[in-house]
Amino acid sequence: VELEATEACARRLDRGDSLASFRNEFSIPPGRNGDPSIYLCGNSLGLMPRKAREYVDAELDDWARLGVGGHFRGKNPWMPYHALLRDPMARIVGALPSEVVVMNSLTANLHLLLVAFYRPTPRRFRILVEGGAFPSDRYAVKSQALFHGYDPDEAVVEVTPRPGEDCLRPEDVLRRIDEEGDSTALVLFGNANYYTGQSFDVAAIARAGQEKGCRVGFDLAHGAGNLPLALHDDGPDFAVWCSYKYLNGGPGAVAAAFVHERHHDDESLPRFSGWWGHDEKTRFEMGPEFRPISGADGFQLSNPPILQMAALRASLELFDRAGMRALREKSERLTAYLELLLEDLEGFRVITPSGAEERGAQLSLLFEPGQGRAVHRRLESAGVVCDYREPDVVRVAPVPIYNTFLDVYRFASILRESL
Ligand SMILES: Cc1ncc(COP(=O)(O)O)c(C=O)c1O
Atom of ligand 1 nearest to the CA of 193: 1
Would the CA dihedral through 159, 164, 170, 172 be positive or negative? negative
For ligand 1, atom 7, name the residue with the nearest CA: 106
Atom of ligand 1 nearest to the CA of 255: 10
CB 109 within 8 Å of CB 256: yes
The residue whose CA is least distant from atom 10 of ligand 1 is: 106
| Among 400, 334, 226, residue whose Cα is nearest residue 1 | 334
Question: What is the β-pairing status of strands 363-367 and 384-385?
Answer: unpaired
Q: Is the pTM of this model over 0.85?
A: yes
Q: How far is the CA of 297 from the centre of ligand 1 (A)?
A: 22
Q: Residue 243 C-alpha to ligand 1 middle, in angstroms? A: 10
> Which of 186, 238, 183, 233 minimizes the C-alpha distance to 209?
186
Chain segment 97-115, per-residue pLDDT in tens: 999 999 999 999 999 999 9
CA of 298 to the centre of ligand 1 (A): 23
Name residues contacting ligand 1 (CB within 6 A).
105-107, 134, 136-137, 190, 194, 219, 221-222, 242
The ligand 1 atom at the shortest distance from the C-alpha of residue 190 is 1
In this prediction, residue 267 carries a pLDDT of 87
pLDDT tens sequence across 295-325: 999 999 999 999 999 999 999 999 999 999 9
Which distant-in-sequence residues (6+ apart) come within 8 Å of 367 by Cβ? 347, 348, 375, 392, 393, 394
Instruction: Give the ligand 1 atom nearest the CA of 108.
Output: 11
Angle at 308 between CA 306 and CA 310, to 5 degrees: 65
Whole-number Cα distances in Å, 375 to 311, 366, 395: 34, 11, 12
Who contacts 57 (Cβ-Cβ below 8 Å, separation ≥6)?
none
Which residue stretches of the chain have pLDDT < 50?
none
Instruction: Tell me, in angstroms, the distance from the centre of ligand 1 to residue 391's CA.
Output: 18
Ligand 1 centre distance from Cα of residue 221 (Å): 6
Distance 136 CA to ligand 1 centre (A): 6
pLDDT of the residue at 2: 84
| Distance of alpha carbon 334 from alpha carbon 366, whole angstroms | 20
Tell which one of 111, 113, 194, 254 to mutate to probe ligand 1, the residue whose CB is within 8 A of the most ligand atoms.
Answer: 194
Å from CA of 372 to ligand 1 middle = 22
